[in-house]
Amino acid sequence: MTATEAGLVVNVENETGPFGNVLYTVTLGPAIVPEEETGAHTIRGQAFSPDGGTVEFSGGGVWRSSGPNQRILKHITQLASGQRTFAVDNFDLVKNTAYGTVYALE
């Protein structure tokens, strides 16, 4: 994790089922309303599927605090193949862990 002027930048590696191993970077923008602990984020990454294919993706959404140093992210991504997905991710910023669920939109 790196603190920048744009917000916290978090690099993640996750296994996501049919999309395979996914490497991505999330930039958590500053809280829009600090006392509500919620803001916007962007995501960019690449998936390495079990069959050997790769696909890049990018997108954005919103984050909210779910506890001390924890965030829930909800975002829509556009894959280079044209497919769109919706994901809900749970981040623990201290433990540097993330898990979530990805849903195909099309």
pLDDT in tens, 22-58: 999 999 999 998 788 999 999 999 999 888 999 999 9
Question: The sheet that has 84-92: what strands, in order across it?
Answer: 2-4, 7-15, 21-31, 38-48, 54-67, 70-79, 84-92, 97-104
pLDDT value of position 48: 94
Mean pLDDT within 3-10: 90
Number of structural domains (the chain) is: 1
Domain extent, residue 91, equals 2-104
Q: In this predicted structure, what is the pLDDT of residue 35? A: 83
